[in-house]
Amino acid sequence: MDFKNKTVIVTGSGRGIGRVIAEQFVKNNANVVVSDLDQGQVETVAGEIGGNCIGIKANVTVQKDIDILFDKTRKEFGQIDIVVNNAGITRDTLIIRMDEKDWDMVLDINLKGAFLVTKLAAKIMMKQRYGRIINISSIVGLQGNAGQANYAASKAGLIGLTKAAAKELAKRGITVNAVAPGFIATEMTEALTDETKDAFLNQVLIKRSGTPKDVASVVLFFASDEASYITGQVLAVDGGLTIA
């Protein structure tokens, strides 16, 4: 896959899956914007990745940050072709113990953030008559998970957003797809209890946890010309967990 002259924004890419997605795009010749909450962090990460990679801070829940992210990206690279809505958090607990603020925070970042970014990306991509939007959902959004009602709702919502956006934007040359990772080894899953980790891993048909690169490979495929006839789809990258 060659993304020469294509510009990519990856939200929440200061670490974890997002960072590896950014690295893989750079390896395949794209211009890449690493974006996360802290300017120092994104500049460091962009420097470490090298190539045509810059860092621009943006909190995906703050409209002004998103405006600046897109403005600076266009100033630096001239256009925006691919957007990966990757920023996401968990605030896990059972529903009966879940604070309203933890519900709101997870929905705000994981779902509303993706909506705000998609809205601005769509405006730009519609004029270009070209674009690729890839949302990082989760198998938890497909299946639910005890202790993750807020997260499951946000990731299921992201699948709804993906399909609605795909229907609105297809005629302008924009595809919108989602990846639903299973159990991927990152700081997010490191925070889970051993019991929860074991419960997930026991169900994985391919007996290992996934890597950020497993997810990045599918993101790059959805972003590529090879996937130009695919839109509104959700692909689980889960080692077979959802069919187990």
Query: Phi/psi of residue 35, each to 5°?
Result: -135, 135
Rounded least distance, CB 12 to ligand NAP, Å: 3
Rounded least distance, CB 86 to ligand NAP, Å: 5
- The residue (of 79 and 242) whose beta carbon lies closer to ligand NAP is 242
Lookup: tokens for 27 = 């390896």
| Burial zone of 77 (CB within 10 Å; 0-12 exposed, 13-18 middle, 19+ buried) | buried
The Cα 180–Cα 195 span in angstroms is 22
Rounded least distance, CB 164 to ligand NAP, Å: 19
Is residue 229 among the annotated active site residues? no
Catalytic residue among 151, 183, 200, 222: 151
Interface ranges with ligand NAP (CB under 6 A): 11-12, 14-18, 36-37, 59-61, 86-89, 109, 113, 136, 138, 181, 183-184, 186-189
Rounded least distance, CB 156 to ligand NAP, Å: 12
Q: How many CB atoms lie within 10 A of CB 51?
A: 15
Pairing between β-strand 82-85 and β-strand 53-55 as defined by DSSP bridges: unpaired
- The residue (of 23 and 36) whose beta carbon lies closer to ligand NAP is 36
- The residue (of 107 and 126) whose beta carbon lies closer to ligand NAP is 107
- The residue (of 126 and 192) whose beta carbon lies closer to ligand NAP is 192
The Cα 94–Cα 90 span in angstroms is 13
Residue positions annotated with a catalytic role: 151
